[in-house]
């Protein structure tokens, strides 16, 4: 999914919510799905999404990186004092 397609899908979800066609939870679910698809489907196959689990400061964070080592470094920078965490590649499925 390219950026324009992702933005259009998010706009559609917002419009449906504004028009009363969906509730907040449904809109959030649609937007989350669009963002996950966008984040895990890159034309550049050297990039992938990685999710952290562990310390509260980083648990659930997702970053885009070329490798798990690079993802670990980025998550470490974002997490400040988090010291114990693992990273796992997020599948696009």
Residue 43 is given by DSSP the state: S
- C-alpha span between 47 and 58 (Å, rounded): 20
**Band (30; pLDDT cuts 50, 70, 90):** very high
Residue 46's pLDDT is 80
What are φ and ψ of residue 23, in 5° steps? -95, 175
Q: Strand, coil or helix: what is 32?
A: helix
Looking at the predicted structure, is the pLDDT value of residue 41 above 90?
no
CB 14 within 8 A of CB 27: yes
- C-alpha span between 37 and 86 (Å, rounded): 22
């Amino acid at each position: 999914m390219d950026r324009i397609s992702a933005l259009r899908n998010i706009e559609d979800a917002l419009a449906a919510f504004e028009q009363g066609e969906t509730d907040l939870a449904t809109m959030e679910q649609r937007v989350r799905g669009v963002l996950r698809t966008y984040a895990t489907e890159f034309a550049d196959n050297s990039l992938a999404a990685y999710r952290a689990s562990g310390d509260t400061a980083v648990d659930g964070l997702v970053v885009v990186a070329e490798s798990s080592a690079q993802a670990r470094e980025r998550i470490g920078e974002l997490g400040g004092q988090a010291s114990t965490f693992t990273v796992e590649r997020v599948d696009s499925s």
